[in-house]
Amino acid sequence: MSSIVRSFFVLAIASAIGLSASIAFAQPQVGIPENEKIGVIIGLKTEPEAAAAAQADAAQQISDLGGEVNHRYTIIPAVSAELPPQAIADLLNDPAIAFVELDGEVQALVETIPWGIDRIRALPNPNNGDAIEYTGGAGIVVAVLDSGVDLDHPDLVANMYINPGEIPGDGIDNDENGFIDDISGWDFNGDDNNADDDNGHGTHCAGTVAAVGQNDIGVVGAAPGALIMPIKVLSAGGGGSFSDIIAALDYVLMMKQNGVNVVVTSNSYGSGGNPGTAVEAAFDQAYAAGIIHLAAAGNSGNSGGTGESVGWPANYDSVVAVASTTINNTRSSFSSTGENVEIAAPGSSIQSTWPGGGYNTISGTSMACPHVAGAAAVLMAEASLLDITDANEANGIADEVRALLLATTIDLGPTGPDTLFGFGLLDLYAARTTSGDGDDGDDGDDGDDGDDGDDGDDGDDGDDGDDGDDGDDGDDGDDGDGGDDPILPLVKVHKIRYQAVKRGRDLQVKVQIRNEEGIRLEGTQVTINLVGPRGDYGDATTSTNRKGLAKFRLRKARRGTYFTTVLDVVVEGYRFDPDDPKNFYANDF
């Protein structure tokens, strides 16, 4: 491979101990074991009349590389195959090979992506149409303060929060939190443990937040991996009291302090009058503890979009006021307006879940609010990968997530923040692919991109916030065989992710390293191999920062499929298993 191609693989130096990233050019010798294969589609450079011969040659080459051909196509000059990831670079370096692409999956089109979920780009990659397979928000609990939630709805039940400290139906407050049998939230309107929905409004909002994906039914939510904590504060008729709202916030904060990762509230209700300082203080206290609040701006707007009509609690400083948009990206005629509107989201004709296992299409800023609540859950879940830290040492990362949501909106209406749409239309994909650590400098015009110099130092990545619980992956600890030499604990690849930086021009590969207890390891040397549309970009080495992240950057990355293999991880006192499937990652950029 030419040095010109290799020069595109420029590494961000992320080591806290001053190690320089280095580039080697050997083919990968370790990684996924040979019996771990991936499905690919391989295009051939051939004329139609010679396609059969070219396919035969390719099949032989694939077999020699340890792979197996599944299909030889006549409609296009290509074959499909399963082969070890180490073989991909060899194929791409063959002048007879036009491309190698991941073999994607398809599903029967039974589950629907509502237009609002599509509009806010609640997808890992909007070009893939893969929201149904997406589990954004995993590990986050969203408290839905509303009319309750249909606890048995088939599109919600798998994502219903279950209190592990309670034994259902025994009439005992097992976790001693003051609420008997609060298995899934609480009914503050009726003062009992049955938070089931007898109105419909809360179930609809919950579906927009976190309806289950990849289940072949119904709809999918903005955060289909998040959990829903039903908090019933509204009656069957849709009414409620602010005293119950305060009690509900008290409960949510107490559950968070008891270890539940409930860091988002969705508030699709409101009042035209300010209820006073007590309610405001309750929202403020929960926000100070790191809980971000999203609230419907209100449905009191006029056709001209004039005046101050945002209701409460949306008007509070600690609450994000959400306006409503139509499918045409215009303001919904009912959407309240005012200086405190911060963000807009789809709210007209939104399809979502409904009590009794059904679905319904309704409108309101109440429908817009849960889109943003789901988006907030996704960012909370991905805070580590997005380098979101508690920079101001206040409110946890709630205000940083809030700022990222606002900074990545699509500007609608008058240029800049306005009273109709706030900062603009929610764009979750932009938020998820915008680096939170300021590693891209001023982003300038980049000139001709030259040789990219040292490409900056990617910032110091903040102070690591509260670091979540996230201590999964702690398996493999029984590896000892009783020999004389002590068996070192494993160091593992926790996640590999791709992120668009420099206004989408550069590909950043992020590899997070943890030990078996889920602790992120700083100063760990990580070596990867990157293969993409232009072939083998070579091997590269850098060290992890205090978040356990090793960052690699490919300048002016061509769109297409990229394959990352972690070849080696070196840190004193640990051993690395090169055959762990998590060492390999493939996705589109």
> What one-letter code names the amino acid at 203?
T
Query: For residue 551, how many C-alpha atoms fall within 13 Å in the half-sphere facing its CB?
Result: 31
Decide: 315 and 340 in contact? Cβ < 8 Å: yes
Tokens of 105: 């999956």
CA dist., res. 449 & res. 436, Å (int): 23
In the block, tokens 């996924």 appear at: 32
CB count in 10 Å sphere of residue 305:
19
- The one catalytic residue among 363, 366, 435, 543: 366
Please report, for residues 9, 432, 506, 559, the alpha-carbon distance to residue 556 in angstroms, rounded to integers and kept in the order given: 9, 20, 5, 9
Q: Which residues contact 98 (CB under 8 A, 6 or more apart)?
A: 43, 44, 45, 77
Sheet with 549-554, strands from edge to edge, namely 9-10, 549-554, 506-515, 490-501, 575-576
CA dist., res. 387 & res. 431, Å (int): 12
User: Is 366 among the residues known to form the active site?
Assistant: yes
Decide: 217 and 155 in contact? Cβ < 8 Å: yes
Structure-derived torsion over alpha carbons of residues 30, 34, 38, 41, reported in degrees to the nearest 10: 100
CA dist., res. 420 & res. 429, Å (int): 22
Q: Which candidate, 233, 235, 231, 209, places its Cα nearest to that of 220?
A: 209
Percent composition of the chain: helix, strand, coil (DSSP 3-state, to 5): 20, 25, 55
- The one catalytic residue among 90, 130, 146, 427: 146
Give residue 264's region: left, alpha or beta (phi > 0; psi -120 to 50). beta
Instruction: Count Cβ atoms within 10 A of the Cβ of residue 87 and give its class: 0-12 exposed, 13-18 middle, 19 or more buried.
Output: buried
Q: What angle do CA 141, 134, 78 make, to 5 degrees?
A: 170
- The one catalytic residue among 155, 181, 182, 201: 201
CA dist., res. 96 & res. 496, Å (int): 31
CA dist., res. 277 & res. 246, Å (int): 11
Q: Where are the alpha helices (DSSP H) in 142-276?
A: 201-210, 242-257
In the block, tokens 């595109």 appear at: 8
DSSP letter string, 342-365: EEEEE-SSEEEEETTTEEEEE-SH
Tokens of 384: 């580590």
**Active-site residues: which are they?**
146, 201, 366
